[in-house]
Amino acid sequence: GEPVYAGVPGATDGTYLWAFKDIPIVTMGAGDRQVAHQVDEWVDLDQLIETAKVYALAALHYLYPGDI
């Protein structure tokens, strides 16, 4: 699908990197951000697998630029 451009409830390290050092950030992960860190938090398995693939590819692109 299309990316969603929005904020997240709460704070991340990225919040501070952007606010104090003007470093652009991306926050990305599986699950519904409205239930994150709640007692009944859950993540759909398909979303978790897709997120793991994105993280792995991002790491490969970072470590081996131009080779992927």
Domain ranges in the chain are 13-63
Q: What is the pLDDT of residue 37?
A: 82
Query: How confident is residue 3, by pLDDT bands cut at 50, 70 and 90?
Result: confident
Quick: pLDDT tens for 19-62. Answer: 899 998 888 889 888 888 889 999 999 999 999 999 999 999 99
Taking residues 8-26, report their average pLDDT.
84
Tell me how far the alpha carbon of residue 12 is from its chain's centroid.
10
**What does DSSP assign to residue 30?**
S
Q: What is the pLDDT of residue 63?
A: 96
The count of C-alpha atoms lying within 13 angstroms of the C-alpha of 13, restricted to the half-sphere facing its C-beta, is 1
Q: In this structure, are residues 8 and 27 in contact, taking their beta carbons and an 8 Å threshold?
A: yes
